[in-house]
Amino acid sequence: MKKIAFYGKGGIGKSTTASNVSAAFSEMGKKVCQIGCDPKNDSTRLLLGHICKQTVLDAVRDSETGEVAAEDIIHTGFHGIKCIEAGGPEPGVGCAGRGIIVALDLLRSLSTLEEEDIILYDVLGDVVCGGFAVPIREGYATDIYIVSSGELMSLYAANNIAKGIQKFAARGKVRLGGIIGNSRNVMQEKELLEEFAQRLNARLIQFIPRDRSVNQAEVNRQTVIEWAPDSAQADVYRNLAKKITDNNELNVPTPLTFAELENLVMKYGNE
Ligand code: ADP
Ligand code: SF4
Ligand code: MG
């Protein structure tokens, strides 16, 4: 079983990329489960065709006995993909990180995911707090991919996530599988992301163009793989899925300083 996590700044395209990659894995005949670890709860929307109706934390809250059954929290999406949302607290109340700990502990105790070929965690990476580090700290995921554009704040979040991976790699199996570049059309973005990845002791595993088909598919609550299966963009996601499946170049990252990040952005942004 491959245990993968996508991390990255909020709004950078983690859930869109994760859902398309999950769809591509399932086309390859793999049994896939995608787990959203973001209080937004929308990780699996494009696979389910709607917002998840019951998150793990909803089920825990609604249960009078504290018992939660697998069928309460595992929802079936496109191509039979298993979809789970950890859920989060009411806005302004409680700790979202704690919610992820509760949700993942519960999933482990249910042990219904042991048959899967691939488990893909989609994790918010703005706050590298104890809660959001759980998927890597507790060994739930070993192969980490960071989604980033060439914008400074996205690179800043990516670099922080790399610091977390470096720390936990020292005592476990967690490794960085690569940077997934999701374009925001900034200057020389691919070259910038290639150098960023290389300086992190990683590689840019895929550069994903910014494309209207992603927005059209989103409006129709579908992945690009489902909405426009013959498009070039669908092939980009299939390509990424194949590279992730075959990847055996996973490394311990070497994060940059903030000044180094700024210089990197300046080097490509000014040319
Ligand atoms: P995150 O999960 O990181 O918060 P989302 O996957 O929800 O981010 O994406 C944020 C927005 O960006 C969505 O509206 C999505 O459709 C859009 N988006 C993501 N990737 C692309 C892309 N390659 N081209 C065009 N729009 C994109
Ligand atoms: Fe919880 Fe993390 Fe927020 Fe701290 S930073 S309150 S651990 S979600
Ligand atoms: Mg998301």
Tens of pLDDT, residue by residue over 249-262, are 999 999 999 999 99
Q: How far is the CA of 204 from the centre of ligand 2 (A)?
A: 30
Reported as type and span, the H/E element at residue 33 is strand 32-37
Annotation-wise, does 10 bind a ligand? Answer: yes
State yes or no: pLDDT of 61 exceeds 80: yes
Question: How distant, in Å, are the alpha carbons of 84, 86, 158, 270 from that of 177?
Answer: 23, 24, 13, 29
Note the pLDDT of residue 97.
81
So what's the pLDDT on residue 64? 85
Of the chain, the percentage scoring pLDDT greater than 70 comes to 99
pTM given for the model: 0.96
Residue 269 marked ligand-binding: no
User: Which ligand is located closest to the Cα atom of residue 214?
Assistant: 1
Q: pLDDT tens for residues 187-225? A: 999 999 999 999 999 999 999 999 999 999 999 999 999
- Overall average pLDDT of the 121-136 stretch: 81
Of the two residues 82 and 127, the one the predictor is more confident about is 82
- On the 0-12 / 13-18 / 19+ scale of CB atoms within 10 A, 109 is exposed
Greater pLDDT, 253 or 135: 253
Band of the pLDDT at 44, cuts 50, 70, 90?
Answer: very high
Task: List the structure tokens of 264.
Answer: 């990197």
Specify which residues 119 forms β-bridges with. Answer: 3, 33
Q: Identify the residue with better confidence: 225 or 139.
A: 225
Helix (H) or strand (E) holding 220: none
Question: How far apart are alpha carbons 11 and 250 in whole angstroms?
Answer: 25
Give the tens place of pLDDT for each residue, 221-248.
Answer: 999 999 999 999 999 999 999 999 999 9
- Ligand 2 site: residues with CB under 6 angstroms? 95-98, 127, 129-131
Decide: helix, strand or coil at residue 67: coil
Q: Residue 82 is part of a domain; what is its CATH number?
A: 3.40.50.300
Give percent of the chain with pLDDT exceeding 90.
77
Report pLDDT for 271: 64
pLDDT at 261: 96
Amino acid residing at 180: I
Give the dihedral sign, CA 201/251/125/241: positive
Domain containing 119: what range? 2-269
Per-residue pLDDT, 137: 84
Ligand 1 atom closest to the Cα of residue 12 is 3
Q: Is residue 9 among the annotated active site residues?
A: yes
Residue 242 a catalytic site member: no
Average pLDDT of 16-43? 96
At residue 138, the pLDDT reads 84
Instruction: For residue range 153-182, list pLDDT tens digits in order.
Output: 999 999 999 999 999 998 889 999 999 999
Q: Residue 259 forms beta bridges with which residues?
A: none
Arithmetic mean of pLDDT, 132-136: 85
- Active-site choice (31, 40, 167, 242): 40
Q: Is 31 a catalytic residue?
A: no
Helix (H, G, I), strand (E, B) or coil at 123: strand
Which pLDDT does position 126 carry in this prediction? Answer: 72
pLDDT at 133 > cutoff 80:
yes
User: In whole numbers, what is the pLDDT of the chain averaged over residues?
Assistant: 93
pLDDT of residue 127: 63
Return the pLDDT at 128: 61
Please count the structural domains in the chain. Answer: 1
Ligand 3 mean position to 9 CA, how many Å?
9
| Shortest-distance atom of ligand 1 to CA 233 | 23
Classified as helix, coil or strand, 62 is helix
Higher pLDDT, 133 or 33: 33
